[in-house]
Structure 1
Amino acid sequence: MQQIQYPLSIFLIGATGDLAKKKILKALYKLYTDQLLPDIFSITGNARRQMSQQEFQQFVKDIVQPDDEQRWQAFCQHLDYVSGDASQLSTFEKIKAHHQQKAGQNHCGNHIWYLATLPRLYTSVVHNLRQTGLHQSDCGWTKIMLEKPFGTDLATSQQLNQELTQVFSEDQIYRIDHYLAKETVQNVLVFRFANGIFEHLWSNRYVDHFQLTASETLGVGGRGEFYDGTGTVRDFIQNHVLQMIATTLMEEPQSLQPDEIRDKRRDLLHALQPVSLEKMSQLSAWGQYGPGQVDGQDVPGYTQEEDVPDGSRTETAIAFKSFVDNERWQGVPLYVRAGKRLAETTTEISVVFKETSNQMFCDDNCPEQANVLTLRVQPNEGVIIRFQVKQPGVTLNIQEVPMEFRYHNQFQMDLIEAYVKLIYDAAHGDPTLFPRSDGIEASWQFVQPFLDHQADDQFRPELYPAGSWGPGSFGNLIGRDNRDWIKPL
């Protein structure tokens, strides 16, 4: 990674929020300590909280916890803060005047507006940027970075995109799905297309089915009000899960040009068959966690969480089956399970290959399952291949064993955090890892039947104990096809 060369001003709207504290501010400091930010740069935070510049600098210091005081002192000179309500035009007038005064002759550079605020404020912020002329620069480029969710359904997503593109061109808009920046997901392209041994197997001729598991042991915590209006489909399936599916199953791009790769992801999403309302009970299963145990500790059920109403029908886990309607994957099912308060925290994509037609071992000890290739997204990122071997001994007994590639074993370095990569790419003008508007719309088109099903008055998710692998219907979904969920390694 090379240092960004041109003067850069980053405006962080929502600078005191959870996302800024957990991810963005740490990523910015990492970019600085790795000498990737340009020599001339500024970071201006904005939130409603009243703070002076010095108080904001201390706020950031408490978050990043620098281990080099001299380096921190150099970094904090680039930090500034303007308080105000992001929905108000006067706030952006203050930001504009403040920046021009502080930047002086260095105001002539590139600008990134990072919206780490509530999505319902996006429209107001974009309007205020246009009204103050901050949506463009006289002598550099301007980009806007937005966090999911991009709408709450297909219609609101289309409306948001229309409002964004009235002010910004598509190549100025960087929609964030940080899962696309995780190392294992980025590695899918290389793994598939730089290794002929795998790409030749990547079709319905050799693949029996796919499984994707995206589980976490955590509950909703203090986000009960937000989550109850969102649910797993909106919070995880529509974005992270579908982007991982698209990256894993898409057709081969002709080049590494950003729009070529984004075209292929979009095409795969268009080919992914939505679960129709008529087949919803057959091809999907819905759950909500009840009381249970996680890591040996008693935890409450979802409706006992703070700010979650009694009788809530919001799903905290879902499993479904789908197909990809194209020549490569015709007839290959895709099974997905995702949710909160499940047995493990893991995200992985498994390619289950067809069993061999050779039956010579079946008289004595057939393998229990076919070969499986697993792309482990998190934690302990890597690639695992499970295959059959003979157990040592005088008799012929067959056992499944894993062959593993783990990033932390192979590379003696820490993996780049996703937000470091995303901010760096945005500053370099590389949109490869950012979903485009047509890809976002395709993903909403896929999940819209789920949302319609959930809106039915008869909809009720099935309770499952916290710390389990979900309700019994999850096992039934895949069991009807004489298959089982793969246990994470």
Structure 2
Amino acid sequence: MTSSAQPDPGLPLDMIIFGGMGDLAARKLLPALYMAHLHGNLPHGTRIISTGRQELGREGYLAFVEEKSRAFISAENFADDAWQSFLRLIDYVRLDVQQDDLAALAQASRGGAERVFYLATAPALFTTICDKLAAAGLVDRQARVVLEKPLGRDLASAVEINEAVGRHFAESQIYRIDHYLGKETVQNLMVLRFGNSILEPLWRAPNISSVQITVAEEVGVGSRAGFYDSTGAMRDMVQNHLLQLLCIVAMEPPSSLAPDAVRDEKLKVLRALRRFNLGTIARDTVRGQYRRGVAGNQEVPGYPEEPNVPAGSGTETFVALRTYVDTWRWSKVPFYLRTGKRMGRRSSKIVVEFANPPFSLFPEQSPGGVANRLVIELQPEEAIKLQVMAKEPGSGMHMQQVALNLDLQSAFSQRRAEAYERLLIDVVRGRLTHFMRRDELEAAWEWVEPIIDGWGALGEPPRPYAAGTWGPPESFALLARDGYSWFE
């Protein structure tokens, strides 16, 4: 294993993308790198070297970028001169990592350059790629490697990948990316919690009665059915995105913003999550699978009818569950997690419900109603809203819930970078705070894996729900028995 060092701002950068012909590179990585280039956030002398198995040559690959990536750059951010100068940064190396050595890549990469290796490939290739990078002499103390999710499909495979990558890269050189951690509002949650004295004293039981985290997608599996059917919603979304959001909500104040200080506190949350057994899996988790319905004002097929989905597939496209963080701060506070495809609309949010006053002066106030909520919206728009009760105009003391809206769009004049752009800039600058550490990843798998195994032992198929709805009825019953309902 090499020792690590901070990036040298005086060195040129080679950003090397494995899987450069893939959907992720075309839709996310290359547009994000263009935006970083447009705003001067790439080091002078940066080159982008994409690899793929196709015999394209550089000009053929640039035509691919024009066709596939340019459409994901908004008109207001597109400048022809900047685009042309960005294209001049790009090179292409034909490479089949399973068959070829990396001599051609070593020849294309410059001696003395800092290298960032972005592994936008199937996780099964991570070990092979890292072994061959080391064999080709491309790994040095300045190199960094970015690993895309899902990192493994269970604890054993995640440990195997971590050990294989760790043979060649120090932990401080490994960037396990979760694009949710690059969202402005997610990062702002740290400031909201720990930079405001009015919230921190309330951020605990019994002041908070429950927490909801929802990541809902309107789209189906589309062309990803081959990958998705072997993965499912638990591995694809809960094990990484939702658990990372839960950690930020539930963590204790870190001693500093240093990467390990923040990640130490997140790890404590993962280790404090209450473990499931067969009884609680049956009671407190819901698996679902979408059926034919209406989404986006058009009829869409159910999961079983999607192309490349095996007949009789039992893969879940929806998960809802109730769990607890067994610490003094969160004693007896339920955390409800929910994610799914083909749901009512695209929506990701964190909803913190505060406890009601112990005695109401206002007879019309419903005993089961929630007076105060903090709603942190992550997508499609980013916003933070505090819902409070206010008096309606007129005589009498009639109340209505209103929202105090933190308008992040108008409050700041600075441009709001997209998640991948922000995280790629962090990689370039050597900032690890918003990336998962090895022990975090493995702790998440330790919690998730018994649930997946329990579903297999119970043998119950996923509950059906119509596309365009908010999941199976059982997910609503999960909250209703505690006196809550999902916040839509």
Fold shared by both chains (TM-score > 0.5): yes
1:153 aligns with 2:176: no
Q: How does 1:405-416 map to 2 (within 5 A)?
A: 405-416=406-417
Task: Please report how far the alpha carbon of residue 462 of structure 1 lies from its aligned counterpart in structure 2 after TM superposition.
Answer: 0.6
Sequence identity percentage: 37
1:12-51 Cα distance to aligned partner (Å, 9 max, x none): 1110100000100011111111111121121111000111
- What is residue 51 of structure 1 aligned with on the other side? 56
- What is residue 5 of structure 2 aligned with on the other side? none
1:81 aligns with 2:92: yes
1:312-341 Cα distance to aligned partner (Å, 9 max, x none): 111110110000011111111111111111
Gaps of 5+ in 1: none
Tell me which moved more, 4-13 or 175-184. 4-13
1:113 aligns with 2:117: yes
Gaps of 5+ in 2: 1-7
Counterpart amino acid of residue 258 in structure 1: P
Counterpart amino acid of residue 135 in structure 2: Q
- What is residue 486 of structure 2 aligned with on the other side? 485
Q: How does 1:268-287 map to 2 (within 5 A)?
A: 268-287=269-288
- What is residue 315 of structure 1 aligned with on the other side? 316
1:15 aligns with 2:20: yes
* C-alpha contact 1:380 1:408 (8 A) present in aligned 2: no
Tell me which moved more, 282-291 or 60-69. 60-69
Counterpart amino acid of residue 94 in structure 2: S
- What is residue 257 of structure 2 aligned with on the other side? 256
- What is residue 125 of structure 1 aligned with on the other side? 129
Measured in 2, the distance between the counterparts of 1:87 and 1:325 equals: 45
* C-alpha contact 2:320 2:337 (8 A) present in aligned 1: yes
Measured in 2, the distance between the counterparts of 1:322 and 1:71 equals: 48
Measured in 2, the distance between the counterparts of 1:352 and 1:70 equals: 49
* C-alpha contact 1:178 1:419 (8 A) present in aligned 2: yes
Work out which of the residue numbers 75, 92, 104 in structure 2 matches 1:94: 104
Task: Please report how far the alpha carbon of residue 98 of structure 1 lies from its aligned counterpart in structure 2 after TM superposition.
Answer: 2.7
Counterpart amino acid of residue 96 in structure 1: A
1:42-100 Cα distance to aligned partner (Å, 9 max, x none): 1111000111112222322332368433333333222111102022342x11111233x
- What is residue 3 of structure 2 aligned with on the other side? none
Measured in 1, the distance between the counterparts of 2:220 and 2:407 equals: 28
Counterpart amino acid of residue 104 in structure 2: K
**What SS is found at the alignment partner of 1:373?**
strand
**What SS is found at the alignment partner of 1:456?**
helix
Change in CA separation of 1:365 and 1:74 when aligned onto 2, cut-off 3 Å: closer
Measured in 2, the distance between the counterparts of 1:243 and 1:226 equals: 22
Measured in 2, the distance between the counterparts of 1:5 and 1:476 equals: 59
Measured in 2, the distance between the counterparts of 1:75 and 1:296 equals: 38
Q: How does 1:74-223 map to 2 (within 5 A)?
A: 74-90=85-101, 92-99=102-109, 103=110, 107-136=111-140, 141-223=142-224
Change in CA separation of 1:51 and 1:204 when aligned onto 2, cut-off 3 Å: same
Q: How does 1:429-444 map to 2 (within 5 A)?
A: 429-444=430-445
- What is residue 4 of structure 2 aligned with on the other side? none
Measured in 2, the distance between the counterparts of 1:79 and 1:482 equals: 56
Measured in 1, the distance between the counterparts of 2:378 and 2:11 equals: 33
Measured in 1, the distance between the counterparts of 2:486 and 2:79 equals: 47
Task: Please report how far the alpha carbon of residue 295 of structure 1 lies from its aligned counterpart in structure 2 after TM superposition.
Answer: 2.3
1:198-219 Cα distance to aligned partner (Å, 9 max, x none): 1111011311111111111111
Measured in 1, the distance between the counterparts of 2:79 and 2:348 equals: 34
1:210-253 Cα distance to aligned partner (Å, 9 max, x none): 11111111111111111110100000000000001101110000
* C-alpha contact 2:371 2:401 (8 A) present in aligned 1: no
1:39 aligns with 2:39: no
**What SS is found at the alignment partner of 1:450?**
helix
Change in CA separation of 1:454 and 1:59 when aligned onto 2, cut-off 3 Å: same
Name the TM-score, length of structure 2 as normaliser: 0.94
Task: Please report how far the alpha carbon of residue 369 of structure 1 lies from its aligned counterpart in structure 2 after TM superposition.
Answer: 1.9
Name the TM-score, length of structure 1 as normaliser: 0.94
Measured in 2, the distance between the counterparts of 1:98 and 1:470 equals: 50
Task: Please report how far the alpha carbon of residue 130 of structure 1 lies from its aligned counterpart in structure 2 after TM superposition.
Answer: 1.5
Task: Please report how far the alpha carbon of residue 365 of structure 1 lies from its aligned counterpart in structure 2 after TM superposition.
Answer: 4.2
**What SS is found at the alignment partner of 2:51?**
strand
Change in CA separation of 1:329 and 1:293 when aligned onto 2, cut-off 3 Å: same
* C-alpha contact 1:88 1:128 (8 A) present in aligned 2: no
Change in CA separation of 1:372 and 1:284 when aligned onto 2, cut-off 3 Å: same
Measured in 1, the distance between the counterparts of 2:83 and 2:292 equals: 45
Counterpart amino acid of residue 77 in structure 1: R
Measured in 1, the distance between the counterparts of 2:451 and 2:458 equals: 14
Q: How does 1:365-376 map to 2 (within 5 A)?
A: 365-366=365-366, 368-376=369-377
- What is residue 457 of structure 2 aligned with on the other side? 456
Count of residues in correspondence between the two structures: 474
**What SS is found at the alignment partner of 1:401?**
strand
Measured in 2, the distance between the counterparts of 1:71 and 1:379 equals: 28
1:264-323 Cα distance to aligned partner (Å, 9 max, x none): 111111111132222111111111111111122111110000101221111110110000
Q: How does 1:248-397 map to 2 (within 5 A)?
A: 248-362=249-363, 364-366=364-366, 368-397=369-398
